Amino acid sequence: MLKNTFKVLAITLAIAGSGLATAADKVTYQLDWLPGGDKAPVYVGIQQGFFADEDLEVSIASGRGSTDAITKIATGQADLGSADIGALMAARAQEEVPVSAIYMIFNQAPHAFFMLSSSDIESISDIQGKKVATSPFTSSNAFLPLVLEENGMPADAVTLTKSDPGALGPMLITGNTDAIIAWVTNVALFKDQAASAGKDIRVLPWSEAGLSLYSSAVVASDKFLEERPDVAKRFMKAYAKSLEFTMNDPEAAAQDLHTMVPEVDPAVAVGQINDTKVLVDNEISEADGLGTMTPERVASTWEWVARANELSTDSLDPETIINRGFMPESK
């Protein structure tokens, strides 16, 4: 009897020990903005089971800009997340921030001017003298003077108003501003808002006005990368699958996002995902590969960022913020 009791206890402990050994590793992913189609891959990874396949349990936190996301990752409130690589470069040039870029999401600048289709703003040069509204949180603001200067205008060529992000669409539609600054990932969102008022919008991407640089990246806490490298590698393997799934099936990806965040309209999310494709899968990714960060483009991105933030290019070796050791293996 006693022998059998010990046998049962041994089996029970073995099962319990096995359960502990295979428990999913928890990871917190910090967004740099609110949930939307451009953030769909991390939601897809959860809903499609890509993270679970890698024994990961991923939680997602909303953010209020790249600086906010970087701060939360640097202070241990999240393990990794999305943020503008330019914001990380500027932060690292001025102080020690224990965060590194490990994967490039947008290899092209997403910044743009949005205006009503009835507007007389038909080219970048037409923006001179106009009223422009922007969010106080967007990294676009730092690049605005450079885009204006690149196109022969002074840095103060526009009258700039900073407003709550949710107010930008209504301001444009009601004529309270001539143009707004937003990312091309939100074309579908603003078109939907305009359509509800019987109007339409046009977009002037800054990437077509001379601003060519890396933008949104997966960034991670250096502590997370050092202490849990296997977890980081498994996360990136699953994330790469999620990104590919999102690009190939926007409808399913949008539904996955809507399932987790019901207030996101799946139809708008589909449009946002399609708007995102040009920033992810383009001639740059065809040449270099998805997620790749080449030393040459990292360096040119830093030159833009240094100018935008009035920093000396000598204040940072941009390669020091890059960690390519967690890139998923190419198929």
Q: Are residues 97 and 233 in the same domain?
A: yes
pLDDT (tens digit per residue) in 126-139: 999 999 999 998 88
Q: Are residues 118 and 104 in the same domain?
A: no
CA atoms within 13 A on the CB side of 50: 22
Q: Are residues 164 and 304 in the same domain?
A: no
Q: Is the dihedral of CA 322, 186, 235, 65 positive or negative?
A: positive
145 bridge partner residues: none
Q: Are residues 84 and 225 in the same domain?
A: yes
How deeply is 152 buried, as exposed, middle or buried, from its count of CB atoms within 10 A (0-12, 13-18, 19+)?
A: exposed
Tell me: pLDDT of 306 over 70.
Answer: yes
Q: Are residues 266 and 224 in the same domain?
A: yes
Q: Write down the residue that tokens 């690149």 correspond to.
A: 150
- Tally Cβ neighbours within 10 Å of residue 328: 18
Q: Over pLDDT 70: what percentage of the chain?
A: 93
Give all strands of the β-sheet with 25-30 in edge-to-edge order. 56-61, 25-30, 80-84, 216-221, 99-104
Q: What is the mean pLDDT of residues 297-301?
A: 98
Could you give the CA distance from residue 92 to residue 118 in angstroms, rounded to a whole number? 43
Q: How many domains does the chain have?
A: 2
CATH number at residue 122: 3.40.190.10
Question: For residue 296, what pLDDT is reported?
Answer: 98
- Tally Cβ neighbours within 10 Å of residue 310: 9
pLDDT (tens digit per residue) in 164-195: 989 999 999 999 999 999 999 989 889 999 99
Q: What is the mean pLDDT of residues 144-173?
A: 96
Could you give the CA distance from residue 241 to residue 248 in angstroms, rounded to a whole number? 11
Question: For residue 137, what pLDDT is reported?
Answer: 80
- Tally Cβ neighbours within 10 Å of residue 87: 25
Residue 1 near residue 9, CB atoms below 8 Å = no
pLDDT (tens digit per residue) in 1-56: 444 444 444 444 444 444 445 699 999 999 998 899 999 999 999 999 999 999 99
Could you give the CA distance from residue 243 to residue 256 in angstroms, rounded to a whole number? 13
Domain extent for 226: 7-108+214-326
Tell me: pLDDT of 108 over 70.
Answer: yes
pLDDT (tens digit per residue) in 247-274: 999 999 999 999 999 999 999 999 999 9
Q: Are residues 317 and 298 in the same domain?
A: yes
Tell me: pLDDT of 244 over 70.
Answer: yes
Question: For residue 14, what pLDDT is reported?
Answer: 44
Which of 177, 193, 209 lies at the terminal end of a domain, its last residue? 209
Q: Are residues 30 and 160 in the same domain?
A: no
Of 49-53, 164-168, 221-225, 300-304, give the lowest mean pLDDT range. 164-168
Residue 21 belongs to a domain: yes
Q: What are phi and psi of 218, to 5 degrees?
A: -80, 120
Q: Which two tokens stand for residue 277?
A: 């494709």
Question: For residue 331, what pLDDT is reported?
Answer: 57
Q: Which two tokens stand for residue 89?
A: 């470069």
Q: Are residues 42 and 98 in the same domain?
A: yes
